[in-house]
Amino acid sequence: MAGLSTSNHHHTYQLHIRLSRTITIPVGALGQCRFPAGDYIYTGSARRNMEARLRRHRGRDKRPHWHIDHLLLHPAASVVEVTRSATPECELNQSVTGEIPAPGFGASDCRNGCGSHLKLLLPRQSKAKPHSGRPKRSGPRRGAQAEVVPQARHPTPGGI
């Protein structure tokens, strides 16, 4: 009735969070949690008012309500990117490969055994190593052992 768009099925969102240093902060009922510096992905969902929710996440003027608020209110944390998805929250969360810094984080309502809806991304494996374009040395190595064979005295022929 209120003219709500039904074409938008993106109920799931992910916050890409950068934490510039390691912090230990209280997170509601979880108590003190330690978050190593690094990149995180938080997966959440909003059935309604997604944009308002995301604005809230990005704002710093709020009282902590969700677990994620505690993290995002810390000055070392910043949201670097927000993505939206139609994939169910838990499915999307489980597709993220990472460590769980705080078990139970953001997962109070989770019934799919995620363990946490906040994941610490593992540092990129050093695939980015510059390719060493140094040509291989070819050819036999010489020099070390130039054998000096003493000339054998051969008997002079012709002494008949």
Please report, as ranges, the residues that interact with Zn ion according to CB under 5 A: 90, 110, 112, 114
In whole angstroms, what is the distance from residue 42 CA to residue 70 CA?
13
Span between the terminal Cα atoms of the chain, in Å = 130
Query: Min. distance of Cβ 31 from Zn ion in angstroms?
Result: 21
Please identify, using beta-carbon distances, which residue of 71 and 90 lies nearer to Zn ion. 90
Query: Min. distance of Cβ 117 from Zn ion in angstroms?
Result: 6
In whole angstroms, what is the distance from residue 74 CA to residue 99 CA?
20
Query: Min. distance of Cβ 128 from Zn ion in angstroms?
Result: 32
User: Residue 154 gets which letter from DSSP?
Assistant: P
Query: Min. distance of Cβ 26 from Zn ion in angstroms?
Result: 23
Please identify, using beta-carbon distances, which residue of 23 and 30 lies nearer to Zn ion. 30
In whole angstroms, what is the distance from residue 53 CA to residue 38 CA?
24
What is the CA 144 to chain-centroid distance, rounded?
A: 50
For the record, the structure tokens of 64 come out as: 């902590």
- Per the CB < 8 A criterion, the answer to whether 67 and 118 are in contact is yes
In whole angstroms, what is the distance from residue 147 CA to residue 139 CA?
19
Please identify, using beta-carbon distances, which residue of 76 and 121 lies nearer to Zn ion. 121
Please identify, using beta-carbon distances, which residue of 96 and 110 lies nearer to Zn ion. 110
Please identify, using beta-carbon distances, which residue of 22 and 95 lies nearer to Zn ion. 95
- Per the CB < 8 A criterion, the answer to whether 12 and 89 are in contact is yes
Query: Min. distance of Cβ 9 from Zn ion in angstroms?
Result: 19
